[in-house]
């Protein structure tokens, strides 16, 4: 139990440190935020009115405390550019980003488990070597290159799937929405599973070398059956790495949403940064970072259940 | 057999890219920026082996100079990350408990902080440029170097030979020089290649998103982004930068794997 408390504590500390960091970096922006919003030919009266409205004329410390306090109560402020509520903007983007990230993580873990186990059993056969070589190549090819490659094959050459975009009605048009999620999910999970395969493979190799495996084989089980008893054992490091790689996954989501022109959280943030929408960016980043820490906490707890030795 | 090959192939790829990058300062087939409105989207030919792009610029010359942007960014970022990461890690492992705690905590927070979000923050603060992306990549990769080096160095500090050296009156500084630094070397070399390959990916990703190298600097990531819309008609234009990014990253990671096996005798007996 103390392990859980310790993790919760370090996650809270991490989120807190990140808020200070995000706020500090964004507010040392060269140039005045109000001028960036209204343009250089704005009248001094308009500028000070805007500063008044967003509380930009107060000290940074007061602004920080105010922002953090509001965020804790669920109020993420409003966009400097459009004045829209940041919270509702974020919520409206979730029905793209959440399925994208969740489905591709799930797919990545499943694929990595299967490929890792396969390449461990057949490590001296062509198919096993091919599997680990493919994983190596998968690591080398950046996400956006994979995405553009998939667009080329499935959207440009064969026209099986859309090259990008998302129906404006969202999941209301379930079939179209699903179709436009296929390539993004594939892209993101490929990058992710290339990382995970290594760990699934090395853990499977350890098991293949163990007495338990030899006994099972001697008793007449096939290699696959024998290895399936070690699913928990192999899943555990894969999940640990998934938790550690969450930030990579998030990075991947930003890239994938841009490649496929999906209206998600990542592409929104890239645009907000370009627009220097400081108030929106700081709240969005806070939500993203907090989510990363929460998911990591959940994965680690699941992991303790999978492998009881870890919590000992 | 396989192992020697990965070292050789990796080294060969890295050397080729390095030669491309270095020679682009002196000579490229064409000026990469010269626009030729009469020769847009030309296919591969003797004059333009890789063809020309949407503005009639020679693609080979752009790839050639893009190598410089990629490699300089990667090398600088890896160097910064190693210098600052390794020294912070060693300091943490050899200092008092509270210094150690502070360095490890800061390192862990940076490891946990999504690297691209860090990049977005730096770009928001400084504007997009190669310097911004180098800085981001160095901070993001340096953080994990700190954590790894600190744990390796702490292991070495607990070794019997270090205790023996202490009894002989060796100062911390001379222990770091004689024992810690030398034993860390192989781990550091491998981490440096890891950081460099991450840096190539990160640099091209930031450029792709429009947050890295600014026009007119030729950059593989931006070439890819600007030609993606012509994928239907001129897929080759997108293929070249994609190919070069992937081969470079593959080369660096093969080099890293090869070096790891060469430098770490315990790995040679593994499957």
pLDDT of residue A143: 84
pLDDT of residue B270: 46
- ipTM score of complex: 0.74
- Greater pLDDT, B117 or A32: B117
Tokens of B203: 């640099």
Given its phi and psi angles, is residue A79 left (phi above 0), alpha (psi -120 to 50 degrees) or beta?
Answer: beta
Least confident among A74-78, A264-268, B45-49: B45-49
pLDDT of residue B244: 87
CB contact under 8 A, A25 and B112: no
Residues 125-164 of B with CB under 8 A from A: 125-126
DSSP notation for A76-134: --B-TTT--BHHHHHHHHHHHHHHHHHHHHHHHHHHHHHHHHHHHHTTTSHHHHHHHHH
A contacts of B209 (beta carbons < 8 Å)? 254-255, 258, 270
Which chain A residue has its CA at the smallest distance from B109's CA? A14
Q: What is the DSSP letter of B214?
A: P
Assess contact for B258 and B189: CB atoms under 8 A: no
Q: How far is the first Cα of chain A from the last one, in angstroms, to the nearest whole number?
A: 10
Q: What is the DSSP letter of B52?
A: B
- Per the DSSP assignment, residues forming a β-bridge with A78 are A85
pLDDT of residue A107: 93
Q: What is the mean pLDDT of residues B138-167?
A: 87
Tokens of B260: 């790891």
Kindly state whether A111 is in contact with chain B, defined as any CB-CB distance less than 8 angstroms. Answer: no
- CA nearest neighbour of A255 among A145, A178, A180: A145
CB contact under 8 A, A281 and B124: yes
**Tens-place pLDDT, residues B175-187:** 888 888 888 888 8
pLDDT of residue B267: 55
Averaged pLDDT of chain B: 81
**Tens-place pLDDT, residues A209-227:** 888 888 888 988 888 888 8
Q: What is the mean pLDDT of residues A67-87?
A: 82
What is the distance, to the nearest Å, from the Cα of residue B71 to the centroid of all Cα atoms in its chain?
A: 7
Tell me the domains of chain A and their CATH numbers.
86-311 (1.10.3720.10)
Tokens of A134: 């493919």
**pLDDT greater than 80 at residue A35:** no
Minimal C-alpha gap between A268 and chain B (Å): 12
pLDDT of residue B80: 92
Q: What is the mean pLDDT of residues A130-140?
A: 78
Residues 39-68 of A with CB under 8 A from B: none
CB contact under 8 A, A288 and B117: yes
CB contact under 8 A, B211 and A205: no
High-pLDDT (> 90) share of chain A, %: 3
**pLDDT greater than 80 at residue A187:** yes
**Burial grade of A202 (CB within 10 A; 0-12, 13-18, 19 or more):** middle
Least confident among A15-19, A27-31, A132-136: A27-31
- Contacts across the A-B interface (CB distance below 8 Å): 123
**pLDDT greater than 60 at residue A30:** no
Q: Note if the pTM is more than 0.90.
A: no
As a whole number of angstroms, the distance between CA A243 and CA A38 comes to 42
**Tens-place pLDDT, residues A143-181:** 888 888 888 888 877 878 887 778 777 777 788 888 888
Least confident among A69-73, B76-80, B149-153, B211-215: B211-215
A contacts of B199 (beta carbons < 8 Å)? none
């Amino acid at each position: 139990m103390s392990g859980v408390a310790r993790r919760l504590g370090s996650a809270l500390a991490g989120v807190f440190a990140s808020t200070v960091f995000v706020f500090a970096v964004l507010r040392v922006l060269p140039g005045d935020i109000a001028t960036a919003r209204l343009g250089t030919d704005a009248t001094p009266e308009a500028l000070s009115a805007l500063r008044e409205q967003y509380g930009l004329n107060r000290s940074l410390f007061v602004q920080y405390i105010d922002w953090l306090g509001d965020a804790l109560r669920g109020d993420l402020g409003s966009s400097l550019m459009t004045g829209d509520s940041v919270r509702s903007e974020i919520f409206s983007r979730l029905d793209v980003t959440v399925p994208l990230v969740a489905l591709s993580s799930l797919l990545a873990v499943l694929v990595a488990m299967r490929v890792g186990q396969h390449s461990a059993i057949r490590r001296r056969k062509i198919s096993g070597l091919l599997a680990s070589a493919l994983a190596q190549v998968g690591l080398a090819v950046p996400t956006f290159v994979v995405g553009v490659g998939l667009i080329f094959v499935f959207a440009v050459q064969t026209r099986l799937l859309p090259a990008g975009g998302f129906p404006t009605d969202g999941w209301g048009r379930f079939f179209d929405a699903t179709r436009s999620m296929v390539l993004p999910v594939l892209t993101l999970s490929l990058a992710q599973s290339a990382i995970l395969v290594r760990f699934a493979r090395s853990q499977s190799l350890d098991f293949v070398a163990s007495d338990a495996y030899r006994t099972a084989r001697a008793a007449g089980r096939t290699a696959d059956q024998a290895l399936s008893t070690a699913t928990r054992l192999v899943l555990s490091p894969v999940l640990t790495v998934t938790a550690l790689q969450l930030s990579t996954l998030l990075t991947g989501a930003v890239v994938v949403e841009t490649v496929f022109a999906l209206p998600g959280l990542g592409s929104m943030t890239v645009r907000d940064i370009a627009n220097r929408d400081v108030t929106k960016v700081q709240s969005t980043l806070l939500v993203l970072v907090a989510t990363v820490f929460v998911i990591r906490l959940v994965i680690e707890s699941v992991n303790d259940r999978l492998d009881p030795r870890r919590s000992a | 057999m396989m192992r020697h090959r990965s070292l050789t192939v990796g080294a060969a790829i890295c050397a080729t890219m390095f030669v491309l990058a270095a020679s682009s300062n002196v000579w490229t087939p064409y000026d990469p920026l010269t626009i030729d409105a009469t020769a847009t989207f030309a296919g591969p030919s003797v004059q333009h082996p890789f063809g020309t792009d949407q503005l009639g610029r020679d693609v080979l010359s752009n790839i050639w100079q893009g190598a410089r942007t990629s490699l300089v960014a990667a090398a600088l970022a890896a160097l910064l990350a190693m210098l600052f990461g390794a020294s912070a890690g060693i300091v943490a492992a050899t200092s008092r408990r509270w210094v150690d705690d502070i360095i490890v905590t800061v390192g862990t927070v940076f490891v946990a902080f999504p690297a691209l979000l860090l990049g977005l923050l730096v770009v928001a603060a400084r504007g997009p440029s190669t310097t911004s992306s180098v800085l981001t990549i160095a901070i993001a990769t340096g953080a994990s170097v700190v954590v790894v080096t600190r744990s390796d160095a702490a292991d070495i500090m607990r070794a019997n030979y270090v205790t023996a050296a202490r009894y002989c009156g060796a100062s911390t500084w001379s222990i770091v020089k004689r024992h810690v630094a030398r034993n860390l070397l192989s781990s550091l070399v491998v981490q440096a290649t890891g950081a460099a390959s991450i840096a190539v990916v990160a640099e091209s990703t930031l450029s792709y998103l429009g947050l890295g190298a600014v026009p007119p600097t030729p950059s593989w990531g931006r070439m890819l982004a600007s030609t993606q819309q012509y994928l239907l008609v001129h897929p080759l234009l997108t293929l070249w930068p994609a190919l070069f990014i992937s081969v470079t990253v593959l080369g660096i990671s093969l080099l890293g794997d090869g070096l790891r096996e060469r430098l770490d005798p315990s790995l040679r007996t593994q499957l």
